[in-house]
Chain A
Amino acid sequence: MQLVQRRPLPPRRVRLRPGGVLPILAILVVLLVLVGIRQPSFLDPPSLMSFLGRSAPIILLAAGQYFVIVSGEFDLSVGSLVTAQVVVAARLIDSDPARTWPVVLLLLAFGALVGLVNGLITTRLRVPSFITTLGMFLILVGAVYLWSDGAPKGGLSEEFRRFGRRAVEDVPLLGRVPYALLVLLAVAVLAVVLMRSDFGRTLVAVGDNPRTAQLSGVRVWRTRTVAFILSGLAAAVAAILLGGYSGVSFQAGAGLEFGAITAVVLGGVALGGGRGSVVGAMLGALTLELLFALMNFYGVSGALRSTVQGAIILLAVAVSATRSSSR
């Protein structure tokens, strides 16, 4: 081999690479300090545990949304999917404990099915996912109203509600550890493992450059469809926790899709795909919840939530856009 010898490049360790979790961790720490100053008792283990349990559904949804966004798509249907799941669960269980587990399985299947339909319509019929999932959002809202004649029927069993409201009691140091937090940790571990697997790496590649992926033999449509299914499954798990925690209503999942998208963007994941980590997305959701808690402590009106979310989305996207264009 005739090769012009060149010096190897100097090692370039870009720790603060775009899409890393460092910025969101920094924001999280700052918020924790601010909360600690205003309301020191918030940082006591019992209240912190319960905060994490309460935040579990939105963090799960952020993880689900992450899969879709990193592959270059959007899922606006998760909020209404959560509502639909809660209402369906109440009617099917009808306060009968024996039906709990079958219904839990049914909800997971339902979530996966909605994701599958979203994915197939987006990838095979080439409808932009923004439109697909907006359509699914409206269809689910209407269908749930129709199916329950305008008011939620039945009720959840105590068994079912356990996931969302009960906890492992008397844990040393921590006090009570909510089941929701355990579910969250399990899902988080699964998500991290998944993103390190072949599928996860391929998913990010599809979001970053679908042409390259396709020419390397990736079935881009299948990969994206699986991402939608994962988002649907995450919505099902979130619905089980949320139904248990706050009960049955048509408002159960209202606005959660935007919360999840805000969280994902805040966590350093690029809209349009190909950049960011699932841990970042979940930390983004935690940060968002903490920010709302902080606003609460400072007496800021809860009505400002959506304004704050909107501002965060605009700011985060603007920051990442200007940073990546300046390279």
Chain B
Amino acid sequence: MPDPPPAPLLTLRGIGKSFFGVRVLDGVDLDVAPGEVHAVVGENGAGKSTLMKIVSGGYAPDGGTVEVAGAPRVFRSPRDAQRAGIGIIHQEFNLLPERTVAENVHLGHEPVRRGLVDRRAMRERTGRLLASIGETTLAPDARVGQLGVAQQQVVEIAKALALDARVLIMDEPTAALADHEVELLYGLVRRLQHRGIGLLYVSHRLTEVFDLSGRITVLKDGRRVTTVNTTDTSTDDLVRHMVGRELSSYYPDRAGPADRGPVRITVRDAGNRKLRGVDLQLRAGEVLGVGGLQGSGRSALARALFGVAPFTSGDVTLDGRPVRLRSPRTAMRAGIAYVTEDRKGEGIVPRQSVLDNALLASRAVFAARSGRAARTRRVRELLATVEVRAAGDDQEIRFLSGGNQQKVVLARWLALDPQVLLFDEPTRGIDVGAKSAIHDLVRRLARDGAAVLMISSDLPELLGMSDRIVVMRDGRIAGELPAAATEEDVVALAVGHVTETDR
């Protein structure tokens, strides 16, 4: 353990938090000294966001203490945290686009003279504040909506400083920035350091973490794995800390060479607003795993193939013939099915029955193909095949568990006899039993000749299920890995760290 710099501004001891009985954070310790950049890294779901919400007063912890400058504090709301000098810059900014920079910076605590807002004082203070962090080009009178993302971020920071923040939390600050803007952010972070402000820097981009931070804390599955001095570690070490866990679950056998069929879908140099230069082949009989961080373009890829947000450039061929997948309907008619990651938001119709949910796609697209009674009978059979547990076909789907809801969604798609299945996080939020049932089903579909693409953030699942893995980063395919790849390989590609080939 490295020595923490003296007299921390913020100290967390033994922070724990559970949601609905699921432990999200467990005994996390962390401290931030004045003028220090302390980075927090971890996979999706490691507990970073929850921890930041606790520090900034968004959630109350179940256990542990938060101390600011040595004095224990209890935050009942974000306002309490602000008063204690803790500011947070969210990924999504909290600004009023129609107001000026000065108005946004002083929102809720405007300087008042004779009962009216003192605009001149507000402008002057904002100007001084911006100058103090080296921003001389940004005018206090500019309308925030007309500023670029990087400048809006500066306004957010100034807003926190106007409330005398001594600790600033930055949550994925570079996620929205272009490459040249990242340089500007680096400069800003260094000037904040000089002012003696402590920064908690949450990011999964390891390059930035190494460029900026003094210490790094690694979270995994809600626990603190380690805290290290940045100079004493390497990206390899960090990646190992981020993933290191044993493969324990059971996965069905992979496809043998005999199972691999012909190429079903070929994507050549395709792109859209979120994707660039994607080349990809999907084969019958095979499960292609897609890894990558959130926002890396994994879902965008599936949605482009399903015609929700189509490719705007490049070519797609299906069984050798060029196709334009411009809407879900055209994709469905081409034999493609898509199981969304947002089951609640766009996977189910919550107040309709299990049967209605399972029939939704057949009704919409192949209404006249077969008799209604025969179709209903077939969907009932499928519901039984995927083993949905419900009080009956007529039960509203919202009363089912996540796993059973997902099985109903699967039945909906299986009713169309799809040749290509796109799964986006098919087992997210699903209990263990249903999870392995879905794994078996996915594998069985592939064995029966379907081409399967499966996106997963769950690395053991990705490695356990896939015959081949592509990893995405920043809207591109960063690389392809064989079935025998390790978790480190996937994470290294996802965060943009080139592993030494001799490993």
**A residues whose Cβ falls under 8 Å from a Cβ of B:** 1-4, 6, 8-13, 17, 19, 198, 201-202, 204-205, 208-209, 211-219, 274-275
B138, CB-defined interface residue at 8 Å: no
Complex interface: chain B residues within 8 A of A6 (CB): 389, 433
The chain B residue with its CB closest to the CB of A223 is B364
Q: Is B6 an interface residue (CB 8 A)?
A: no
Residue of B nearest to A327 (CB): B398
Given A9-B390, A12-B399, A198-B372, does the pair A215, B346 have CB atoms closer than 8 Å? yes
Q: A208-B349, A215-B346, A217-B332 are in contact. Are A202 and B364 (CB under 8 A)?
A: yes
Q: Can you list 6 A-B pairs with a CB-CB distance of less than 8 A?
A: A3-B433, A3-B437, A205-B349, A208-B351, A213-B360, A217-B329
Q: Do the beta carbons of B363 and A209 come within 8 Å of each other?
A: no
Q: In whole angstroms, how far apart are the Cα atoms of A205 and B365 in the complex?
A: 14
B436 at the interface (CB under 8 A from A): yes
Query: Interface size on B (CB < 8 Å)?
Result: 39
Contacts of B391 in A (CB 8 A): 9-13
Measured in the bound complex, the distance between the Cα atoms of B226 and A116 in whole Å is 64
Q: Which residues of chain B have a CB within 8 Å of any CB of chain A?
A: 250, 306, 308, 328-329, 332, 338, 340, 345-352, 356, 359-361, 363-365, 367, 372, 387, 389-392, 395-396, 399, 412, 432-433, 436-437, 440
Instruction: A6-B433, A274-B349 given; name 20 further pairs at CB < 8 Å.
Output: A2-B250, A3-B437, A4-B436, A9-B390, A12-B395, A13-B391, A201-B356, A201-B359, A201-B360, A201-B363, A202-B364, A204-B349, A204-B356, A209-B346, A215-B338, A215-B346, A216-B328, A216-B364, A216-B412, A219-B329
CB contacts (< 8 Å) of A208 on chain B: these are 349-352
Nearest A residue (CB) for B372: A198
Known pairs A12-B399, A215-B328, A217-B328; A1 contacts B346 (CB<8 A): no
Q: How far is the CA of A10 from the CA of B399 in the complex (A)?
A: 12
Q: Which A residues are in CB contact (< 8 Å) with B352? A: 201, 204-205, 208, 274
Asked if A205 contacts B360 (CB within 8 A), the reply is: yes
CA distance A27 to B64 in the complex (A): 54
**Cα A219 to Cα B332 with chains together (Å):** 13
Taking CB atoms, residues of chain A closer than 8 Å to B432 are: 4
Known contacts A3-B433, A11-B391; is-contact A274 B364 (Cβ 8 Å): no
Which residues of B have CB within 8 Å of A204? 349, 352, 356
Closest residue of chain A to B343 (Cβ to Cβ) is: A212
* Residues of the A chain whose Cβ atoms lie less than 8 Å from the Cβ of B399: 12
In angstroms, Cα B372 to Cα A202, docked, is 14
- Residues on the B chain within 8 Å of A211, using CB: 345-346
Q: Which residues of B sit under 8 angstroms from A217, Cβ to Cβ?
A: 328-329, 332, 361, 364-365
With contact pairs A1-B437, A3-B437, A6-B433 given, residues A212 and B349 touching in the complex (Cβ less than 8 Å): yes
B390 and A275 form a contact (CB under 8 A): no
B351 touches A11 (CB 8 A): no
> Measured between alpha carbons, how far is A12 from B398 in the docked complex, in Å?
13
Inter-chain CA distance A10–B390, complex, in Å, is 9
**Cβ of B364 and Cβ of A212 under 8 Å apart?**
no
What chain B residues lie within 8 Å of A1 (beta carbons)? 387, 437, 440
Contact B433 A216 (CB under 8 A): no
Distance (whole angstroms) from the CB of A323 to the closest CB of chain B: 13
| Chain A neighbourhood of B367, CB < 8 A | 198
Q: Within the complex, what minimum Cβ distance (angstroms) separates B357 from chain A?
A: 8
How near does chain A come to B426, taking the closest CB pair, in angstroms?
Answer: 15
Least CB separation from A209: chain B residue: B349
Question: Which residues of chain B are near A216, meaning CB under 8 Å?
Answer: 328, 360-361, 364, 412
Known: A205-B352, A209-B350. A8 touches B389 (CB 8 A): yes
Residue in A8, A11, A217, A274 with the greatest tally of chain B CB atoms within 10 Å? A217
Q: In the docked arrangement, what's the CA distance between A277 and B281, Å?
A: 47
C-alpha spacing A12/B394, complex, angstroms: 11
**How many angstroms between the C-alpha atoms of A304 and B65 in the bound complex?**
61
Are A212 and B348 in contact, CB atoms less than 8 angstroms apart?
Answer: yes
How far is it, in angstroms, between the C-alpha of A209 and the C-alpha of B350 when the chains are bound? 8
Assembly CA distance A204 to B353 (angstroms): 11
A214 to B372, CA, bound (A): 21
Q: How far is the CA of A275 from the CA of B399 in the complex (A)?
A: 15
**What is the distance, in angstroms, from A102's C-beta to the closest C-beta of chain B?**
33
- In the complex, A194→B164 CA distance in Å? 63
For the complex, what is the distance from the CA of A216 to the CA of B336, rounded to whole Å?
11
The chain A residue sitting closest to B250, CB to CB, is: A2
The 10 A-B residue pairs with the shortest CB-CB distance, nearest first, are: A4-B433, A211-B346, A217-B365, A218-B364, A216-B361, A217-B364, A198-B363, A216-B360, A205-B349, A12-B391
CB-CB < 8 A to B392: which residues of A? Answer: 11
Question: Among A198, A202, A209, A218, which residue has its beta carbon within 8 angstroms of that of B348?
Answer: A209
Report how far A13 CA is from B394 CA in the complex, Å.
10
- Chain A residues with CB under 8 Å of B359's CB are 201
The closest CB in chain B to the CB of A324 belongs to B351
